Chains A and B, each alone.
Chain A
Amino acid sequence: DVKVTQSSRYLVKRTGEKVFLECVQDMDHENMFWYRQDPGLGLRLIYFSYDVKMKEKGDIPEGYSVSREKKERFSLILESASTNQTSMYLCASASGGGVQPQHFGDGTRLSIL
């Protein structure tokens, strides 16, 4: 089975801090994704990557950046955390092709105080 591992289940940070969320997948998938999930707003795509060192903006990239130096690892960076970035963050991976299933990690519940 595909395993997508997110580094933390719960994280508490302060406003203005630089925050790193890490995600690792073990299935050699080309595509990796970062979403945030908020009540009433569903799943929103922040960034995705289709190859090492490649990235594409999703629907809500403002305030975030990403890094993909190795195929198995995709990092989400909050450059200067703000309270409106308090959310559940979900990482996913998928093999090539737009209709391939995405496999998710268990999520990181991030609170910015």
Chain B
Amino acid sequence: DAKTTQPNSMESNEEEPVHLPCNHSTISGTDYIHWYRQLPSQGPEYVIHGLTSNVNNRMASLAIAEDRKSSTLILHRATLRDAAVYYCILRTTNSNSGYALNFGKGTSLLVTP
């Protein structure tokens, strides 16, 4: 499986934008880029996913590099409730890969007032 690399931790001030990077240099053409987050004492929460084009939803935006070797999750205005571990995952349409989500260590986001 193609792997992802994320910084261990990042810090942001409340109400400022946050850009969470993810490197995936061995991504294949069938890999979708997914982002999840996990707040303390809660189950993981789906945030956003994309293939080639940038994506927006009510939670965040996903910017995908033209060569697809990296992507950035953008929280437009961080709140204290956004403090969580953010996971960048590649998921392929290849049926042999199975359905399991393989979370790495993720990025722990600290948001300060």
Contacts and interface: CB of A to CB of B under 8 A. Distances in A.
* Interface size, A (range): 20 to 34
A104 interface: yes
Interface string A47-58: 010000000001
Interface residues of B, number: 23
A99 B98 CA distance: 10
B21 interface: no
Given A98-B91, A98-B92, A43 B46 contact: no
Majority secondary structure, A binding face: strand
B44 A43 contact: yes
Given A90-B44, A99-B93, A48 B103 contact: no
Interface of B: 32, 34, 41-46, 49, 91-95, 97-105
27 contacts: A35-B101, A42-B103, A42-B104, A42-B105, A43-B44, A43-B100, A45-B98, A45-B99, A45-B100, A48-B99, A48-B100, A58-B100, A59-B100, A90-B44, A94-B99, A97-B93, A98-B93, A98-B94, A98-B97, A98-B99, A99-B49, A99-B92, A101-B34, A104-B44, A106-B42, A107-B41, A107-B43
